[in-house]
A and B are shown apart, each in its own frame.
Chain A
Amino acid sequence: MSGKIYSKPVTFAVMATVAVLVGTAVTMAYPLVRPEMHVKVEGLKPLPALELAGRDVYQREGCVSCHTQTVRPLKSEVVRYLGSRAQEPTARYSLAGEFAYDHPFLWGSKRTGPDLAFEGWIKPSADWQRAHLENPQKLVAKSNMPAYAFLSGEKVDAPAVAASMRALRRVGVPYTDADVTAAGADVAGKTNMDALVAYVLSLGKAVNRGAPGGVDVDLAAANPLGAAVAAVARGKQLWDANGCAACHGDEAHGQDGVAPNLVDEEFLGQKGDLPDAAYFAMIKGGSEVKPALGRPGVADGGMQAFGSDLKDEDIWAIVSFLRNQKGHEATESKAEEAKEHHEAAERRAKDRK
């Protein structure tokens, strides 16, 4: 560098500008015209009105401060976020083409909480999502996520949703006039909580990441582990380690509006127990196996399939644990009943005196 430019500010400024623009041109501007930066997965659709409103809430509340939205193509990550279930190997992690309508991207930079890119597959229950957003610590005691109960008291701002659609149309998202006109009606009466839940449940759904095929339900199959003490203990361990308690509670008593009690008289919403194999099928295949079991359960389902995370043997161990838990309850309630009988008898005896 000749010494002259250090006494010529204009020349110097021009040179500095050129220096910063070279990297800018190659790594920022040039990619904007590259085809691989403009891919779209098949059938990608802009978010419907309610989900769009939910995305705005997600932005407003800064969920991106704690949650990422991109599953990396790393083995452990694909397993953790259940991408491993996807039939297509490329659907197991996040794809550029899923985000073609994301203005801006919401991939985030910090995972204080788990990644949410595939959340629509991971926790598909609207009830759970709502209950969790209202009070995270109630479902996951050690969570540090803030409570967002106030969202249930806020109505979606319908004109704002239509304005958002129009603005997004200007940056290239193909909303039709009909979409914009219908937006008001689509969000009528909905709260920001409804919107946020709808958005969260839409995450990762642009690509099919469902389990390959269904689960063969064989109601005649017996639990190979039976009631072995070791199996029960292992089942309890797996119960804790796989987050069943987040929905069904520590002792499988269920939580109102989130997930059913697994140790009461009912199974999938009807009185009367089903064999171990039905438990096995529900855990392995999730709510999708309900038709094969012939029971209604919860209307919008919400039990996820654990088949790709748990070996069959592990699932049986959990069943052993649940059976054991159920046995406990039965004995306890019998003891309780007996006690009540006894007390009542005593009272009667007193009355007679």
Chain B
Amino acid sequence: MTDYRYDNRTVQGFILSAIFWGVVGIVVGLLISIQMWAPGANFAPYLTFGRLRPVHTNGLAFGLGVGSIFGLSYWIVMRLCKRPLLFPKLARVQLWLFNAGIALAALSLMAGHTQSLEYAELEWPLDVAIVVLWVMFAVNVFGTIVKRNEEQMYVSLWYIIATVIAVAVLYLVNNLAVPASLTKSYHLFAGVNSANVQWWYGHNAVGFVFTTPILAMFYYFLPKATGLPIFSHRLSIVAFWSLVFAYMWTGAHHLVYTPLPDWLQTLGIVFTVFLIAPSWGSVVNGFYTVGQDWSKMRSSYLTKFFVLGITFYGLQTVQGPTQALRVVSQLIHYTDWVPGHVHMGTMGWVTMTVCASVYYVIPKIYGTEIFSEKIANVHFWLVLVGQLLFSITMWITGIRQGWMWKATDAEGKLVYRNFIDTIAGNYPYWHTRTLAGIVFTVGMLFFVYNVLMTIRKGRALERSEAPAAPAAVTVA
């Protein structure tokens, strides 16, 4: 146990950092959701919607997402390799660099330094920092796996390895740019190529940040939390290889009906539809795993987080391929439907699974139990209600507005010629979205409180178990 102490603290550091940036990102999310219906809430120049939207997305994808991926992947790697990290100090340096990087990222985005590429907005000096971070992560993950004390690599390790490789390829290529100054650069690719490379990256950022590492958590923590083994190893194998193979083909579904050549659009659509299969491989595996004993839903409070998480993942991966179809895309693309879809994944699947994993890990670090299961349950229900309210309102208003854009009369004239007439009806839904965000945020604050109190409890326990050490030294 003591062998792991230092590394466990690093893991906890990543988790706490991820939570911190998560809260920042969510608060910014609330602010931009208010700006959508109250333009007076824009505070020029730094706090306008245009500059803050990327702060929200990057803060959550890189701060909450990548931060928890670093921490929880290290936890998983150590347990599955039966050894501490190969380079513990390096991981600690990585933790500090990560926090400095995210802080600078948020500030630079507010200052308007951006490449205007979604999820790759950061300018080149920060890109360099992110590449360094990723290399540190890769070195520790691969080093520890190579020196492992367990013959077989479990599924979660496969997903972590694929994540490390795919993100490296994606990030390096899409961020190729020529600098004009320290804060401004121009994408190496132009027009249709710029678009194609960006969405090859953009969709796979979703695939390899919001899917594969989260699946690694799911495959590891679900059996741990429930005590039930994964239903089918063979299904895991098939789902893994088909997922990592198919994902990279699908980016063009973001560019349906744009000037991108038709053959590329069609290829992207076909592979996107196919993607249902590997995604549902994991969904089925998850359900059948819990299906071995449904009473776990009652007896183990974490089970419902994982079941809900994988359910949202399942819905998301049916919705996604449907959206890629040309007939559907022409109606919902560019509307509020898309944030509805995105947040089912981010708030439902990602946040649900990450929170459950954190609930599992934090008490284990101190050899104790969670501070309060009751609070965890309140957190669960609030987050669920907030998420559903968010997505459902955005789906409705997305279809509503998409239909108004298309509506023509018998002579082919537009029924809603004035664009603003199609926006006016969004306001009630945008109000409701902010309400949903508040409910979700309150839920997340319960989570944060629960985690902090568990750590406090754990620290007190440590102090009482280390009788020789004077209190002052322990605090330092």
Contact = CB atoms under 8 A, between A and B. Distances in A.
- A and B from one complex: yes
Contact of B44 (A36, A74, A147, A160): A147
A240 B418 contact: yes
Interface string B314-355: 000000000000000010001100110000000000000000
A166 B153 contact: no
Given A104-B189, A172-B190, A62 B48 contact: yes
B49 A66 contact: yes
A35 to B, nearest CB: 10
A64 interface: yes
B6 interface: no
A153 to B, nearest CB: 10
A103 B198 CA distance: 11
Given A28-B200, A148-B44, A163 B180 contact: yes
A114 B419 CA distance: 7
A44 B35 CA distance: 38
B50 interface: yes
A103 B413 CA distance: 36
B71 interface: no
A106 B414 CA distance: 26
Nearest to A137: B39
Interface stretch (B18-26, B109-117, B128-136): B109-117
B435 interface: no
A62 B257 contact: no
Interface string A93-124: 01110111111111111111110000000000
A73 interface: yes
Contacts of B196: 27-28, 31, 37
Interface stretch (A7-15, A209-217, A253-261, A272-280): A7-15
B420 A140 contact: yes
A26 B252 CA distance: 12
Contact of A37 (B193, B412, B416, B417): B193
A144 B188 CA distance: 34
Interface string B27-38: 000000001111
B417 A242 contact: yes
Contact of A146 (B50, B116, B189, B237): B50
A27 B268 contact: yes
Chain A CB count within 10 A is highest, among B37, B49, B50, B416, for B50
A173 B421 CA distance: 40
A110 B423 CA distance: 13
Interface residues of B, number: 98
A231 B53 CA distance: 46
Contacts of B103: none
B179 A106 contact: no
A351 interface: no
A43 interface: no
Nearest to A103: B186
A24 B193 CA distance: 14
Given A105-B198, A172-B190, A145 B39 contact: yes
B192 A99 contact: yes
Nearest to B41: A146
State which size class the interface on A falls in. 35 or more
Nearest to A55: B116
B53 A62 contact: yes
A32 interface: yes
A146 B245 contact: no
A144 B419 CA distance: 12
A62 B180 contact: no
Contact of B257 (A74, A99, A114, A136): A74
Contacts of A108: 334
A309 B413 contact: yes
B153 A21 contact: no
Contacts of A142: 420, 423-424, 427
Contacts of A77: 405
B58 to A, nearest CB: 12
A91 to B, nearest CB: 12
A109 B336 CA distance: 11
B166 to A, nearest CB: 5
A72 B330 contact: yes
Nearest to B38: A144
Contact of A80 (B146, B185, B414, B424): B414
Interface in B394-441: 405-408, 411-414, 416-421, 423-424, 427
Interface in B141-162: 142, 145-146, 151-153, 158, 161-162
Contact of B418 (A74, A163, A172, A243): A243
A103 B165 contact: no
Contact of A60 (B39, B114, B419): B114
A27 B252 contact: yes
A180 to B, nearest CB: 12
Nearest 10 pairs between A and B by C-beta? Answer: A62-B50, A99-B191, A23-B248, A104-B187, A167-B180, A60-B112, A146-B42, A96-B259, A23-B249, A72-B257
7 contacts: A7-B151, A70-B259, A94-B258, A96-B191, A99-B192, A105-B187, A242-B418
Interface of A: 1, 6-7, 9-10, 12-13, 16-17, 19-24, 26-28, 31-32, 34, 36-38, 56, 59-66, 68, 70, 72-77, 79-80, 94-96, 98-114, 136-137, 140, 142-150, 160, 163-164, 166-168, 170-173, 240-243, 246, 309, 311
